[in-house]
Amino acid sequence: MKPEFEAQFDELAEFIKSYPDSAFEISGHVDERCSPNLSLKLHLKRADYVKKYLIENYSIPDSMLVSVGRGNSEPYIKGALTEAEHEWNRRVEITFIRE
């Protein structure tokens, strides 16, 4: 993970903690160039890293976080051509799954 993204975790953790009875899905994504074999490991590894980081550094309860891998099935930029566009597709998203 890039250091500039780790700085955003303070705000994210504060938000998650403000909804103590909720659950959040952490979904990992890869770009469209990723092979199916690598995708199976990498997308979930991204999501698990964020989940572990939130638990270990902010004491977010494990029960509030579910990590899943989405592979390259939901690109942010379909048909990405440039490296910058592919980078947008390599991401982690966090959404409410229970409020």
State residue 26 phi and psi, 5-degree precision.
Answer: -110, 110
Residue ranges of domains in the chain: 30-98
**CB proximity list for 62: less than 8 A, separation 6 or greater:** 51, 55
Q: What is the pLDDT of residues 62-81, one digit of tens each?
A: 999 999 999 888 999 999 99
pTM of the entire structure? 0.87
Q: What is the pLDDT of residues 38-51, one digit of tens each?
A: 777 898 999 999 99
